[in-house]
Amino acid sequence: MLKHLRVLTRRNEEKTTARCGECTLAACGTGCRAAVLGVECESTEASRLRSLGLFEGACVTVVDSRNGMLLDVRGSRLALGSGLASAIRVLPLGS
C-alpha cells in the first residue's frame, strides 16, 4: 500500500513539473495566465512591448490564441503575431 502511494505521489510531481515549466507565450492557450520572464526579440520591438506594459515580471492573460495572440495586459488588450509571441518567454500560472 505504501509503495503504491509513493508511485502516485511521484506521478503527480511529474505532472506538476511538466505543467509549471517555462515556455514561450505562443505555447499558451486561451485563458492561460502567465508571468513574463523575458522578451527576446529585436531591441526596438522589445522596447515598444515594454512601453505597452509587456515587460519582465508582468502578468498577462491570453484572451484569444487562434490567430496570433490577443492578451490582457494590465487591463488593456494587446495583439501580437505568432512570431513575436514565440520570442517571449513566460511562466504559466494556470487558468
Structural domains present in the chain: 22-94 (2.30.30.90)
* pTM for the full predicted model: 0.74
Q: Smallest Cα–Cα separation from 52: which of 26, 88, 82? A: 88
DSSP state for residue 84 in the 8-state scheme: H
pLDDT (0 to 100) of residue 18:
43
CB atoms within 10 A of CB 77: 10
Span 15-36, average pLDDT: 79
Q: Are 71 and 55 in contact (CB under 8 A)?
A: no
Q: What number of other Cβ atoms are within 10 A of residue 49's Cβ?
A: 21
Q: Assess contact for 36 and 57: CB atoms under 8 A.
A: yes
pLDDT of 46-94, one tens digit each?
A: 999 999 999 999 999 999 998 889 999 999 999 999 999 999 999 999 7
